[in-house]
Chain A
Amino acid sequence: MESLNAEGQWIIMMGFLVSLGIFFLAIIISQSTLVGQTTAEGVLEFPKNDIQDLRHDILEVENFNRTQCPSIYPTRCGFIMDNITQEIKQISLYRKSAIVNYNLSVGTPPLCGSDGVRTVSIHYNNGVTAYDENPITIYC
């Protein structure tokens, strides 16, 4: 049997190393597309706008309940507030797939405690993200 030619071993060795290098570069490049996708999906999944919007509206409901509801609708205010709660809960569940609840602290008009403070708590859960804010303090 002819003996193995021992020349050019370094060249073969370096060729081997270079091919390994290219292989790892390819892995890194394929990872980068994956990272871009998961980042965008993560931002789409996280209901940042929903939570901010809900919070904004619930604080407006609190304002309505404190400043307008008892004076404009003296007899129906409780009924209207119950309906508003139902609207927020039902539409959130129906259109946003989110379970939402909120609670306004009760008291005699102007609905503030003796310390001039009213509290609002908000609960939000869409199955992926849960958000609880408890309590928001409102100085009135």
Chain B
Amino acid sequence: MVNERAQLYTMEGIAAGLIMLLTTYLVLGSTSVYTPGDTHITDMQLEQVGSDILRVMDTPRNLTDSLQPNRTDLELIVSTTNGNGFYWNFTHDYLCNPKAVAKEISVECTDIQINASIWYVGNSNSPGSYLLPNPYSGGYLGIGPGVRVTHWIHTNGKPGSASSGIVPGDMRNEPQEVLVEVVMWKA
């Protein structure tokens, strides 16, 4: 038989319960747990930033230009195998440019290391690659997982090279498509 005593205690119990619920909600809502799965979010941002940079570098300097050799910065860099130019352009002009830096990226741009290679199909009809020499690497280090961003380039012939031995001999000397592949990771 339910009697009619202790209503005030009951109300107190309800109030205490509500306060506890609210506290738990606020405490758990104000913290976030960084799970291994969350690293994908920064990877995603890095991949997007890298792809965007390559795309901007492959934009014609003069938008009304018709198709012609070395129409874009990236085409010029690839056709002259200008490693210095590529890494300076990519990191200094875009990734770390204080005027253009992607604010959303969750790591400092100077912590990001990049390595670029060119993929082509040679005379033997099989894919090959060579590295764009990086003068700024100073020895690679890395702890983070890397992302790979790529961009297709139309070149008008076999790329020239500042120092010999970079561009492989079996590359065709005629118009061709090559894939610029940049690996980006957090050092």
Interface residues of A, Cβ cutoff 8 Å to B: 6-11, 14-15, 17-18, 21-22, 25-26, 29, 33-34, 36-37, 40-41, 43-44, 49-50, 53-54, 56-57, 60-61, 63-64, 67-69, 73, 76, 80, 83-84, 86-88, 90-91, 94-96
**Do A87 and B67 have beta carbons less than 8 Å apart?**
no
**Do A83 and B121 have beta carbons less than 8 Å apart?**
yes
Residues of B within 8 A of A54 (CB): 152
Among candidates A7, A37, A50, A83, residue contacting B172 with C-beta atoms closer than 8 Å? A83
Residue B13 lies at the interface, judged by CB distance under 8 Å to chain A: yes
Residues of B within 8 A of A56 (CB): 152
Residues of B within 8 A of A96 (CB): 150, 179
Residues of A within 8 A of B158 (CB): none
Residues of A within 8 A of B32 (CB): 33
Interface string of B35-55 (1 = CB under 8 A from A): 101101101100110010001
Identify 8 new A-B residue pairs, CB closer than 8 A, beyond the known A61-B177, A73-B174.
A6-B3, A14-B10, A15-B13, A17-B17, A26-B28, A63-B67, A84-B176, A95-B119
How many chain B residues sit at the interface, stated as a range, is 35 or more
Interface string of B12-27 (1 = CB under 8 A from A): 0110010011001100
Residues of B within 8 A of A80 (CB): 174-176
5 residue pairs from A and B, CB less than 8 Å apart: A21-B21, A33-B32, A33-B37, A83-B121, A90-B121
A139–B177 Cα gap in the complex (Å)? 23
Identify the closest chain A residue to B11 (Cβ). A10
The smallest C-beta distance from B130 to any residue of chain A, in angstroms, reads 14
The smallest C-beta distance from B70 to any residue of chain A, in angstroms, reads 13
A44–B146 Cα gap in the complex (Å)? 12
Among candidates A22, A33, A63, residue contacting B24 with C-beta atoms closer than 8 Å? A22
